[in-house]
């Protein structure tokens, strides 16, 4: 695997550099990237060691701004004394002496960098941290011969190595040097590094919930779900004494409901239950789909960072996602955004029927049994448009980026049809009405197991008839 450490922000504190050394020890031998170089050990007093460090300092400094910004905030790292599988350390020398030697190759007006020794156990590792490249930076060249490389040559960093620039790479660095201060310089990153797969087959989840509901209604003593809260099960008229003017019949206040005994047979009750389940099934499917549509773990959540002290107005961000990924179809979202209320459960077998009083029928003619579940509020304006065509393209509504301030983009619900552990790679581009150029980059997400919808028919969500 690559270096097992978060690369979304720079590592500059001593404790962070120690963590970086430990991560390199756990990395694959071919895990060097365009932001990091390591060496098992070097004699820091030897000329070849000085040349090795100076070469990579120039290479890291001669990266394009957008490429460097993908990792560690644009910083580059050279580690001497560690490699995957071992930490050998180095014999230290005065950092000022090392800096003086390196300046001979890169120049006093060359790239900015810092050297620091970090201790890991009883070993000492040299870490050289190279500052991020910026628009307007000059093309950094060799100030004297370095091995096979001659004075004036341009060295660039590629994945796992530093070498002489090709003509196209040299032209790109010239363009970087010519870039004015009005070029858009931003970065995009994932707020969460994972995204849930699924949802799993909705039909299976619906039928499992229907089976559990049937068991609750037909055999409440055997159900694993708590029984619904009981309503009245014995008549309030029981024991009521006749009054002189009631002619032997208990007087019933007009504002009080009455209750009738349950005269249904078991077969009639079972038929009621099945009719209820038939009405419940499509509404439950909407509710489960609504849950998966709204779940935070299934959202693409991106943040955009302004890397400059300038304002960028009307920043448009476009994201492309390849692989087994779709957005939710608009016609389905329209159906599940406002899912229908669940129907009321039938009265349990043996439970009396409530008859509204005359006052209730007169004053509140619309009284109906409470539904099992009330509709949740819908999302606000999504803030993006998405297109599916074998892959997903998302265009976010423009945002304003203040200096060195991040902005979270609206969450995008995704349907991910990839197994857990799959790495999704997102490519993004951004433009601004107040700046020139096109910023671009990549973001990775790891697919994880979906969170189950849970019991949406819990008895706490409503009541019986």
Q: Which residues pair with 443 in a beta bridge?
A: 426
Beta-carbon count within 10 A of 175 CB: 12
Structure confidence by residue, pLDDT tens digits, 304-355: 999 888 899 999 999 999 888 888 877 777 777 777 788 888 988 888 887 7
Please answer whether residues 400 and 311 qualify as being in contact, where contact means their C-beta atoms are separated by less than 8 angstroms. Answer: yes
Tokens 């050289």, residue located: 128
The separation between the first and the last C-alpha atoms of the chain, rounded to the nearest angstrom, is 59
DSSP string, 23-43: HHHHS-TT--BTTEEEES---
Model pLDDT, residue 246 = 44
Strands (E), 149-232: 155-158, 161-164, 186-190, 194-196
CA–CA separation, 369 and 74 (whole Å): 62
Lowest mean pLDDT, pick from 43-47, 230-234, 407-411: 230-234
What's the rounded mean pLDDT across residues 50-54? 95
Spatial contact of 155 and 149, defined as CB atoms under 8 Å apart: yes
Lowest mean pLDDT among 91-105, 228-242, 320-334, 339-353: 228-242
Q: What are phi and psi of 183, to 5 degrees?
A: -85, 135
Q: CA 217, CA 203: separation in Å to the nearest integer?
A: 21
Q: Is the pLDDT of residue 447 over 60?
A: yes
Q: What average pLDDT does this structure show over 62-67?
A: 92
pLDDT tens-digit series, residues 404-442:
889 999 999 888 888 999 999 999 999 999 888 889 999
Radius of gyration over every alpha carbon of the chain, rounded to an integer in angstroms: 34
Question: Would you state the structure tokens that stand for residue 155, as one six-digit string?
Answer: 């060295």
> Do 310 and 376 form a contact (C-beta atoms < 8 A)?
no
Question: Is 70 exceeded by the pLDDT of residue 377?
Answer: no
The token pair at 347 is 């009265």
What is the arrangement of strands in the sheet containing 406-408, beginning at the earlier edge strand? 186-190, 302-306, 406-408
Q: Which domains does the chain have, with CATH numbers?
A: 14-179 (3.30.950), 202-461 (no CATH)
Nearest to 191 by CA among 448, 405, 445, 16: 445
Half-sphere exposure of 138 (CA within 13 A, CB side): 10
What token pair was written down for 235? 């008549």
DSSP-derived letter for residue 183 is B
In which band, very low, low, confident or very high, does the pLDDT at 82 lie, cut at 50, 70 and 90? very high
Question: In whole angstroms, what is the distance from residue 67 CA to residue 132 CA?
Answer: 10
Confidence grade of residue 379 (pLDDT, cut at 50, 70, 90): very low
DSSP-based three-state secondary structure for 103: helix
Q: pLDDT band at 250, cuts 50/70/90?
A: very low
Strands 76-80, 36-39: pairing kind: parallel
Q: What is the pLDDT of residues 108-157, one digit of tens each?
A: 999 999 999 999 999 999 999 999 998 889 999 999 999 899 999 999 99
pLDDT in tens, 296-306: 888 999 999 99
- DSSP labels, 131-147: PPP-TTPPPPB-SS-BT
Quote the tokens at residue 351.
């439970």
Task: Identify the residue whose tokens are 């229908």.
Answer: 340
DSSP 54-87: HHHHHHHHTS-HHHHTTSGGG-EEEEESEETTEE
| Rounded Cα–Cα distance for residues 65 and 245 (Å) | 97
Distance in angstroms (rounded) separating the CA atoms of residues 21 and 130? 16
How far apart (Å, rounded) are the C-alpha atoms in residues 75 and 70? Answer: 10
């Amino acid at each position: 695997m690559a270096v097992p450490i978060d690369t979304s922000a720079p590592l500059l504190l001593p404790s962070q550099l120690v963590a970086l050394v430990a991560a390199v020890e756990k990395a694959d031998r071919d895990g060097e990237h365009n932001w990091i170089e390591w060496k098992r050990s070097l004699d820091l007093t030897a000329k070849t060691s000085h040349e090795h460090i100076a070469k990579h300092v120039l290479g890291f400094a001669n990266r394009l701004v957008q490429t460097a910004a993908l990792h560690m905030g644009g910083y580059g790292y050279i580690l001497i004394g560690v490699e995957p599988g071992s930490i050998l350390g180095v014999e230290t020398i005065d950092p000022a002496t090392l800096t003086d030697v390196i300046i001979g190759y890169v120049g006093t007006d060359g790239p900015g960098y810092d050297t620091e020794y970090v201790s890991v156990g009883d070993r000492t590792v040299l870490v050289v941290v190279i500052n991020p490249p910026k628009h307007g930076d000059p093309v950094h060249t060799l100030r004297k011969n370095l091995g096979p490389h001659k004075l004036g040559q341009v060295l660039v960093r590629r994945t796992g190595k530093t070498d002489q620039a090709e003509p196209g790479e040299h032209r790109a660095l010239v363009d970087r040097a010519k870039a004015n201060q009005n070029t858009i310089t931003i970065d995009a990153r994932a707020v969460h590094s994972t995204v849930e797969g699924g949802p799993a087959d909705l039909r299976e989840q619906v039928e499992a919930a229907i089976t559990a509901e049937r068991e609750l209604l037909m055999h409440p003593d055997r159900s694993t779900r708590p029984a619904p809260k009981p309503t009245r099960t014995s008549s309030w008229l029981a024991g009521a004494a006749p009054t002189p003017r009631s002619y032997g019949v208990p007087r019933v206040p007009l504002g009080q409901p009455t209750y009738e005994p349950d005269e249904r047979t078991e077969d009639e009750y079972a038929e009621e239950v099945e009719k209820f389940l038939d009405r419940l099934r499509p509404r439950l499917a909407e509710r489960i789909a609504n849950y998966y549509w709204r779940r935070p773990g299934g959202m693409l959540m991106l943040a955009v960072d302004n890397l400059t002290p300038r304002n960028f107005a009307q920043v448009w961000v476009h994201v492309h996602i390849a692989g087994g990924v779709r957005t939710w179809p608009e016609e389905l979202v329209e159906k599940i955004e406002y899912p229908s209320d669940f129907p009321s459960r039938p009265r349990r077998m043996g439970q009396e029927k409530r008859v509204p009083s005359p006052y209730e029928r007169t004053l509140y003619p619309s009284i109906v049994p409470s539904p099992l579940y009330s509709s949740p509020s819908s999302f606000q304006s999504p803030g993006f448009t998405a297109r599916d065509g074998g892959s997903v393209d998302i265009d976010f509504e423009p945002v304003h980026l203040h200096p060195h301030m991040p902005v979270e983009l609206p969450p995008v619900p995704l349907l991910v049809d990839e197994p857990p552990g799959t790495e999704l790679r997102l490519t993004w581009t951004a433009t601004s009405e107040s700046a020139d150029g096109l910023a671009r980059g990549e973001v990775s997400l790891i697919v994880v197991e979906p969170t189950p919808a849970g019991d949406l028919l819990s008895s706490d969500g409503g009541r019986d008839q």
